[in-house]
Amino acid sequence: MKGLRLKDVCTKIGSGATPRGGKDVYLETGEIALIRSQNVYNDHFERNGIVYIEKKHADQLKNVQVEKNDILLNITGDSVARACQVPDAVLPARVNQHVAIIRPDPDRLDPKFLRFFLISPEMQSHMLSLAAAGATRNALTKGMIEGFRVPDFSIEEQREIGLILGELENKIELNRRMNETLEAMARAIFKDWFVDFGPTRAKAEGREPYLSPELWNLFPDALDDEDKPVGWKQGTLADIADSPRCGVSPSNVSEDTPYIGLEHMPRRSIALTEWEGAGKVTSNKSVFKKGEFLFGKLRPYFHKVGIAPLDGICSTDIVVVIPRGPEWAAFTLACLSSDEFVEYTDQTSTGTKMPRTSWRTMGQYKICLPSERGARAFQSLIQPLLNRIDANIHEARTLAQTRDLLLPKLMSGEIRLKDAEKSVEAVA
């Protein structure tokens, strides 16, 4: 392939390191972030799961300090070849040994252009092929990265391509953030109504109503001896939801059937935006329908829970859950995706190296069940939020497909910048 070698147009290419002490020195909050492979995605930087380190540990990693406009590339494991640009808000930061820093010379290589080059279908295929040639595990070496050749466009053309494709990604990112906000709203309402019993406690204490009259009247005005709203029942998840396993053989599945594996499910987000065709499926899978709920039972502490955006099949390491009645759908999803439920599945999972939960265990989770009227009211309030999340997912897929269609054509010079601008305007 003709073009400029990254080695010649970058001021730094190198992988990170783990601070002395390893995971024992990781912090949930702090001033200096340690970026790991699970934070790097082709379409965004994932802040969920980010860890922090103290200054004394960061000082040990000065040579892997991340700077503004750096491009990060995953170089080992199942996430190899994923690349993203570092958000300014994450800095100061370091990277561990599974992530490489690529720092372009700003006078010769535009950072946005470089990232789009790395995530282009042709380059992704090339990197995955190189990584798979490793002896024991997928890996990209410094020498491989230095030898990558980026198209020899002028810096002005690179910046223009970055801006055009960036418009699509800005809209994708806007949809992602909107989904985060909508999910946070649903979680907050569920916690207030059904975990903290906020309306009932307010009534019992004689406080002013903070819900509409029709909603306020659904809640009891006192707590019973078990500290739950009077008339509400103690039950289990299995009382309102089920997991009727429906398996399917790969011989009975068409190649274009959507397939969701654990690798497609983000952590701590019910918005499932990634799936692929079932062409590579070689073992039995589980069938799911649009709107059903998927729970990652392998290493449940990863908190992989989502709502199916379409019909398809999934890994048998994913439990498919359906509500026993439509009025319990939003309640079931909110329960499944709560921190308390995920912690319960983690504590009750079996196996040391590869802990798993099961529907039998999940179904025994104890919950306080409101009246059906209360469940229906919650369903009516939350369903529009879920509908908006679903619409955002499919819109983002369309935007991503447009980006992926334009990328190779722009990189090869097959289409002109003005034609690309028109394509972007049509969808964004």
**One fold for both 4-151 and 183-380?**
yes
For the whole model, what pTM was predicted? 0.83
pLDDT value at residue 135: 60
CA distance 277 to 260: 9
- Given the candidates 3.90.220.20, 3.20.20.150, 2.60.40.10, 3.40.50.2300, the CATH classification of the domain at 183-380 is 3.90.220.20
Give the DSSP H or E segment for 233: strand 233-236
Whether the link from the prior residue into 323 is cis, omega within 30° of 0, is no
CA distance 21 to 145: 29
pLDDT value at residue 140: 94
CA distance 270 to 386: 9
Q: Which residues contact 332 (CB under 8 A, 6 or more apart)?
A: 237, 240, 241, 293, 321, 323
pLDDT value at residue 418: 75
Domain ranges across the chain: 4-151, 183-380
Q: Could you tell me which CATH number the domain at 4-151 has?
A: 3.90.220.20
Give the DSSP H or E segment for 358: none
CA distance 404 to 258: 19
105 phi-psi bin (left φ>0, alpha ψ -120 to 50, beta other): beta
Cβ contact 341:335 at 8 Å: yes
pLDDT value at residue 232: 97
- Name the residue with tokens 């590579």: 280
CA distance 213 to 203: 12
pLDDT value at residue 65: 92
CA distance 104 to 145: 12
Average pLDDT for runs of 10 along the chain of length 428: 88 90 88 92 84 91 91 92 92 94 95 94 91 79 94 92 90 93 97 97 96 96 95 97 93 94 92 92 95 97 96 97 98 97 97 94 98 97 98 93 86 77 72
pLDDT value at residue 404: 85
Strand, helix or coil for residue 251: helix
User: First and final CA of the chain: distance in angstroms?
Assistant: 32
How many separate helices (H) and strands (E) can be counted in the chain? 13, 21
- Residue 229's DSSP bridge partners are 223
Write the pLDDT tens digit of every residue in 12-25: 999 988 888 888 89
Write the pLDDT tens digit of every residue in 366-417: 999 999 999 999 999 999 999 999 999 999 999 988 888 888 888 877 877 7
pLDDT value at residue 126: 93
